[in-house]
Amino acid sequence: MFETITIVGVGLISGSFALILKDKGLVKHVIGVSRTESSIQKALELGIIDEALPLEEAVKKSDLVYVAIPVDATIPMMQRIMDLITDKQIVADAGSTKDALCQALAGHPMRKRFVATHPMWGTEYSGPEAAVREAFTGRTCVICEKEKSDPEAVATIEKVYRELGMRVTYMDAHSHDMHAAYVSHISHITSFALANTVLEKEKEDNAIFELAGGGFESTVRLAKSSPSMWLPIFKQNREHVLDVLNEHITQLRKFKSCIEKENYEYLRELMESANKINRIIH
Summarised one tens digit per residue, pLDDT across range 137-193 is 999 999 999 999 999 999 999 999 999 999 999 999 999 999 999 999 999 999 999
**3-state DSSP percent of the chain in helix, strand and coil, to 5:** 60, 15, 25
- 177 exposure class (CB count in 10 Å sphere: 0-12, 13-18, 19+): buried
Q: State how far the Cα of 118 lies from the Cα of 121, in Å rounded to an integer.
A: 9
Q: With CA atoms as reference, report the closest residue to 194 among 182, 212, 181.
A: 212
Answer yes or no: pTM beyond 0.85. yes
Average pLDDT over residues 198-210: 75
Q: What is the pLDDT of residue 56?
A: 98
Burial of 43-67, coded b for 16+ CB within 10 Å and e otherwise, reads bbeeebbbebbebeebbeebbbbbb
Q: Where are any strands of DSSP class E within 137-278?
A: 140-144, 167-171
pLDDT in tens, 215-244: 778 888 999 999 999 999 999 999 999 999
- With H, G, I as helix, E, B as strand and everything else as coil, classify residue 122: coil
Q: Is the dihedral of CA 128, 84, 153, 240 positive or negative?
A: positive
Provide the β-strand partners of residue 170: 143
In the chain, what are the domains? 2-171 (3.40.50.720), 176-279 (1.10.3660.10)
Q: State how far the Cα of 66 lies from the Cα of 69, in Å rounded to an integer.
A: 10
